[in-house]
Structure 1
């Protein structure tokens, strides 16, 4: 295969790399040994050094071990960005176990699946989310429930009295400052974070390595419930190590950690890349443009991985002129295309080239990225280090000529092992091509004459709302539990800010014809993550169906696109 992108490959970088054979925990242990007094984390003005971080990890790993967590066990981690997420993530790895990261927007009905599917007996969460976990666990059969729930409060990690530029905004005070009581857990026990760290249990011997499972993030698809993606230490290590080299990260790098670290991009491109680099993570628990502007200015942030809507929002701040972005040397992201006009403004005003990339949960974040030296706008980039990617006809699997659209397939050390408990889905996700095992992305793209990849369409049915992937089949499954809904079909609707939003086309049961759009939306708000909630509900007498009885969602989508 001709690889025209090698002409644009950064001369400073190898095309493939040899990665450490150690576990991810070793990266933190090594950084703590080399830079013990350096700030690893910053959270609302409080700094945590690498020594302190490693010590907290060891203490929590000891408690997990005492609670019965063994090698290969899955432990659920459900938090917004905060220092405790970092501690818990590495403590699970230090205890030879597997991190199951969960989006904190999920509600009890959704959380049941994240307890039962990975056979998790221990979960770690924040006080505001703990009642949903208890509700989910209590609703399960006795043998499926959580045995232990470790609960932290946000103020375990910062001073509630903090003032000035690094203080949380007033709108966050109730959320961040409230200390919630521990919930009761049927058949199990809830434990306070402070008690878990102070228990004094020694951690077990660290015995896992490159070929042990480290992460089980869940991704949805065209059918059914979310599927766990099996990632070994090696696949995450590859992309963390490669991101460090690609982005010139070092112990002097200061990154704004605002993309969620429960998401694969935040886990790999931000968290693990910074820890392996011994850089500093300036942590934001959620997006706020004023907080971001002040933190970039005050903490001299050098690197910011984001989704484009964050940049657009920051540039629109009435206080934007007071922010100092001069320290930034790297800005980039993915999840949605950066509008050309915004990318141009960043370059003209600040000399910053917005570097877009592409990847999936199955590829441990980046499988493609743009070279800093030669980025193209609204472009996925070129295949990442050690990676081979092609564009093929999705039916014949023949490689497509330059410029023609086909399915993007990916081979490389960052590709996951397969889907947890789903050999059928695993088999369908891979194809042999030129003697190698390639992952079928389900995304349609094309390659230009320079070897850069561009997105053209999606084979999979998926809605992209501000970078969050919403899978209609999952939303429909939840909506079918509403007593008034006989049938539902979820499609995308255009949204000027989010790019796309969720719309539900609903057939009501004859006994519930008086149900309103707002009642449906309110019910969804109670039962699903906020980004999945339909922003619009359209009532119809019947859904279009094929001869075999399948709902013809494409007809509804096409009608919506024309509307």
Structure 2
């Protein structure tokens, strides 16, 4: 059987051919038709190819949400290259590591991120620098080529490279338990099958208006609903950053049908002075995921506007959704992450014995298998082997249970990851940096419940004799040189010694109690 081309670039070109006048993107009130977007993608693809990008090469992007984010991704896919969206909150050391680890050929960066990129680029394999946005790349940016110039050149005369299910589409870096980010490999099949799953469960429609306010470098912001809407015939209203007041106005003005956001965003919307009177009647596919969802938040939206926030569960490795709670069960199963997606298998396994849990309400590690699940981690066979068992199940590290009706509830994490405002924070990563703070002898990092962010990061440290205890401001200033700000502690507790268990390992339970003030 011939390979089916499932590249998003090919899907965009098909849309532009049969419905060229449809509005594909809205950026800062500028409407971009499908034909105009397709034309700019073809031009950029030619410019990238002339710069040496070939099939399989990695093209990285550093910047906020924008039309150029989509242009770069689709142009990379036109060439069969791999897209690497970078978290724009990362510190220079983290950017250096990712660009080096993935062997990035080209970096596309916005002017606001050029300086931090330039501070590390000479230590990476990046061979070409492209400056996104409308400003010309001149003066201090003389070593950069302007993306605007590339999209003004002639269109590519090459047909898009066909991409099948096993071809690598995206590398998304997520912090690892070893303290270094690791690249989650997502194939075109992973991306495509998530869309099939979403269409099979969520009330999405071909001409939906989707509001993209969650960061697009996150798999939820990009592939929960946004990419699907763009290539399927809908309109994506893309905003640089999330702003609660503007989001409420956008929903009313553009009659937004679909929206993905983390709980902290929905909480901010519900607390805005205009929430009670806002026109939110158009919202239909309204998905909340990325952190624990307070049941109260679900009720607030339902009571105030009749909007059913639909919970889902997944991660970057599942592209992103493995389960989803249909809107009709939002109130009856509040707190549940839903049922497995149509083409995704899910089971619970005893984290000690590895045996499958079959009894309702019994807890186990959530394991996933399906066409939307990553094949593994970039250039990291050890991490890949540790995440999959012999039967092909991906072990998520999350603990949950299934109720009598088969609905999933996520209750804890087997791993030590902290989720703060939808961002993943791994304690080992911050602990590694805090160990370098002058005078600190040991450091442990835990998450404690937080009404606004779900969890907040707390550092517990010990100091050398005679060393003054550092303030949280001093610790944040130091760690902020190496890590993104969302990973920094909001509190620092100094103790004489860290609690340990009988084997000498850190005992995190007493630390959490201490941090929570219990």
Distance 1:183 1:556, change over 3 A: farther
In the alignment, structure 1 residue 311 sits paired with structure 2 residue 270: no
In the alignment, structure 1 residue 202 sits paired with structure 2 residue 159: no
**What is aligned with 1:108?**
92
**What is aligned with 2:127?**
147
1:348 CA displacement: 3.1
Instruction: Work out which of the residue numbers 28, 37, 62 in structure 2 matches 1:44.
Output: 28
Would the aligned equivalents of 2:55 and 2:80 in 1 still touch at CA under 8 Å? Answer: yes
* Deviation readout 1:315-367 (Å, 9 max, x if unpaired): 22122344211222221221123322332232233332211000111111001
In the alignment, structure 1 residue 129 sits paired with structure 2 residue 113: yes
Instruction: Work out which of the residue numbers 102, 113, 130 in structure 2 matches 1:118.
Output: 102
Instruction: Work out which of the residue numbers 454, 467, 486 in structure 1 matches 2:441.
Output: 486
Instruction: Work out which of the residue numbers 320, 337, 346 in structure 1 matches 2:292.
Output: 337
Would the aligned equivalents of 1:485 and 1:506 in 2 still touch at CA under 8 Å? Answer: yes
Instruction: Work out which of the residue numbers 183, 204, 207 in structure 2 matches 1:249.
Output: 204
Would the aligned equivalents of 1:301 and 1:327 in 2 still touch at CA under 8 Å? Answer: yes
Matches within 5 A, 1:279-298: 279-298=234-253
Partners of 2:451 and 2:296 in 1: how far apart? 15
1:124 CA displacement: 1.1
1:261 CA displacement: 1.0
> Which is further off, 387-396 or 237-246?
237-246
Instruction: Work out which of the residue numbers 327, 348, 351 in structure 2 matches 1:391.
Output: 348
Would the aligned equivalents of 1:236 and 1:268 in 2 still touch at CA under 8 Å? Answer: yes
Matches within 5 A, 1:94-493: 94-138=78-122, 140=123, 144-153=124-133, 156=134, 183=140, 189-200=143-154, 202=156, 204-210=158-164, 211-375=166-330, 376-400=333-357, 401-432=359-390, 436-493=391-448
Matches within 5 A, 1:70-109: 70-109=54-93
Distance 1:97 1:511, change over 3 A: farther
Partners of 1:77 and 1:377 in 2: how far apart? 37
Distance 1:484 1:201, change over 3 A: farther
Partners of 1:283 and 1:199 in 2: how far apart? 25
- Which SS does the other structure have where 1:291 is aligned? helix
Distance 1:145 1:374, change over 3 A: same
* Deviation readout 1:94-153 (Å, 9 max, x if unpaired): 121001111100011111111110011311121111111111223x2xxx3422221123
1:504 CA displacement: 1.3
> Which is further off, 500-509 or 529-538?
500-509
Partners of 2:244 and 2:250 in 1: how far apart? 10
1:495 CA displacement: 2.1
- Which SS does the other structure have where 1:296 is aligned? helix
Partners of 2:139 and 2:281 in 1: how far apart? 44
TM-score, length basis structure 2: 0.93
1:181 CA displacement: 6.6
Would the aligned equivalents of 1:244 and 1:277 in 2 still touch at CA under 8 Å? Answer: no
* Deviation readout 1:189-234 (Å, 9 max, x if unpaired): 3122212222437364433422210011112232231111111111
- Which ranges in structure 2 are unaligned for 5 or more consecutive residues? none
> Which is further off, 406-415 or 88-97?
88-97
Would the aligned equivalents of 1:303 and 1:329 in 2 still touch at CA under 8 Å? Answer: yes
Would the aligned equivalents of 1:479 and 1:524 in 2 still touch at CA under 8 Å? Answer: yes
- Which SS does the other structure have where 1:243 is aligned? helix
Would the aligned equivalents of 1:183 and 1:190 in 2 still touch at CA under 8 Å? Answer: no
Partners of 1:179 and 1:198 in 2: how far apart? 12
- Which ranges in structure 1 are unaligned for 5 or more consecutive residues? 1-18, 157-177
Distance 1:182 1:109, change over 3 A: farther
- Which SS does the other structure have where 2:211 is aligned? strand
Would the aligned equivalents of 1:380 and 1:453 in 2 still touch at CA under 8 Å? Answer: yes
Partners of 1:73 and 1:135 in 2: how far apart? 23
Partners of 1:97 and 1:337 in 2: how far apart? 35
1:373 CA displacement: 3.3
Distance 1:512 1:381, change over 3 A: same
- Which SS does the other structure have where 1:437 is aligned? coil
Distance 1:506 1:137, change over 3 A: farther
What RMSD in Å do the two structures reach over aligned CA positions?
A: 2.3
**What is aligned with 1:536?**
491
* Deviation readout 1:402-444 (Å, 9 max, x if unpaired): 1100001111100101111111111110113xxx411001100
Distance 1:33 1:247, change over 3 A: farther
- Which SS does the other structure have where 2:84 is aligned? strand
1:457 CA displacement: 0.8
Distance 1:222 1:554, change over 3 A: farther
Aligned residues: 512
Distance 1:350 1:313, change over 3 A: same
